[in-house]
Amino acid sequence: MRFCTIRTNRFRNLKEEALEVDASKVLLIGPNGQGKTNLLEALYTLCYGSSFRTTRIQELATHGCRDFRIEGTYRDERDLLHTLVLTFKENKRIITLDGTVVRDRKELIYNIPTIVFSHDDILFVKGEPEYRRKFFDQTMSMYDPLFFDDQRRYRQILRQRNQAIKDERYSLLPIYDRQLARHGIAIQQQRVRSVYEFLRIFPKIYQEVAQSDSLLDIEYRPSWEECATEEEVVHHLEEHRGRDIKLQTTTSGVHRDRFLIVEGGHPFATGGSTGQLRLASLALRVAQMAYFTAKTGKETVILVDDVLLELDIPKRQRFLTLLSGYSQGFFTFLPEERYADSFETSDRKVYHVDEGGFTLGP
C-alpha cells in the first residue's frame, strides 16, 4: 500500500499543486518552517480525519481562510487505485472514498494504517499517564475494531455518568455503572493481553537501537486492579459512589489506568538520559509497527518528522535498519543533514521544500 499523489488546497502554508509520491521512500528536504511537517500532517489528516498536531481542525486552513481540501490517490494491497478526499467547509468535515461519503471515521483507521514519528513522542516515555494510555490505545485500535468500539462507547458512557453526577441525577448511576463496567472490563482485559504481547517486541528493539544491555519493561497498572469481572466492577463503583459524588467525577476506571516504562523496577523517565528517553520513544513506534504487522500481516505507511536529527550517525543507521518493515515512508530532513545510505535506492523521490512549494530533485 502506498500513496501515489497528494494535493492540498488552502492547507496550512502549502501551495496548491499535485505531488507525485509513488515511491517507497519520499524525502522532504528544506529549512524549518517551509512546509515539510505540514505535508506529513496533510497525509495523516487524510488517513484519519484528524491532525496529529492539533484537535482544532479549523486551524489547518491557510491563515485567513476558513476551509481547505486534501485529495490523495493510493494503491491498496491488491494494487487497486483509490481516491480519498477530505473537505472542510462551513465548519463541516466531509470525507469521501472513491466518491462515496465516509459516514464513520472509524472506517478510515483500517483503510490506510499510518504511523507518525514526531518530536512529541518522547512524552510517551516521560509525560503524564494519559500519553501512554493514548499510545497503547492507538496501538490496539489499529488492528482491533472491537477494542475501538469499546473505547468509543466507554468514553460516551463516562461523559453521561459524570454529567448525571453533576446534575444530581443519582438514580441513573446504577444503569451507567453496569454499562461502564461492561465496556471497561473488556478494555482492561485487552490491555493486559496486548502489553504481554508488546513486551515480546519492544525491549529487543530498544536494546538494538541503543546498543545497550538495559532491559526495559512495561508495567500495566489498572485502576480496577482488584476487579476481574463485570460484577466486581459494578460492586466497586457502588462502593465508591460517595467519593465520586463528592469529587463530581468518576474517580476510577480504565480512563485512569497507568502504563509505566521501567528499568530494573524503577521508572525509566527519572533514570534515563534525554538521549535514552528519545531512543525509547523511537523504539516504541518501531515496536508499534512490528506489532501491527504481526497482528494483521500488513505493513504501515510511516511519517518520520525530524526525529533523526538528535541521533548520531551510527544510531541513525541502526534506527533506519529497524524501520525496514513499512510499505511507504515519508521523511523530513534539514538541508545540512546527512541521511543514511539506506535511502540510496531507485525507488525514492526527493523533494526540496521552500515556502510551501515542492521541487523534485535528484
- The CATH number linked to 345 is 3.40.50.300
Domain shared by 30 and 130, yes or no: no
For the chain, the domain total comes to: 2
Domain shared by 150 and 291, yes or no: yes
What pLDDT score does 172 carry? Answer: 97
What pLDDT score does 104 carry? Answer: 86
Domain shared by 289 and 306, yes or no: no
**118: in domain:** no
What pLDDT score does 308 carry? Answer: 79
Cβ neighbourhood burial of 292 (10 Å; 0-12, 13-18, 19+) = buried
Residue 84's domain spans which residues? Answer: 1-113+298-362
Domain shared by 16 and 130, yes or no: no
How far apart are the C-alpha atoms of 203 and 213, rounded to whole Å?
A: 10
Domain shared by 284 and 355, yes or no: no
Helices of type H across the chain: 36-48, 106-109, 123-126, 129-141, 145-166, 173-198, 202-210, 230-239, 241-247, 268-271, 274-296, 313-322
Domain shared by 147 and 249, yes or no: yes
* Confidence (pTM): 0.93
DSSP structure string for 247-280:
HTS--SSGGG-EEEEEETTEEHHHHS-HHHHHHH
Q: Using the Cα atoms of residue 130, residue 36, residue 303 and residue 90 in order, give the sign of their dihedral.
A: positive
Neighbouring CB atoms inside 10 A of 330's CB total 26
pLDDT mean values, one per 10 residues, the chain (362 residues): 96 96 94 95 95 94 95 94 96 95 86 93 95 96 93 97 98 98 97 96 92 92 96 97 98 97 92 89 95 94 88 82 88 80 77 95 82
Say which CATH number the domain at 204 has.
1.20.1050.90
Domain shared by 83 and 212, yes or no: no
Neighbouring CB atoms inside 10 A of 214's CB total 15
**262: in domain:** yes
Domain shared by 255 and 318, yes or no: no
What pLDDT score does 341 carry? Answer: 57
Domain shared by 206 and 333, yes or no: no
**119: in domain:** no
Domain shared by 143 and 18, yes or no: no
**167: in domain:** yes
How far apart are the C-alpha atoms of 176 and 249, rounded to whole Å?
A: 13
Domain shared by 72 and 138, yes or no: no
Domain shared by 35 and 13, yes or no: yes
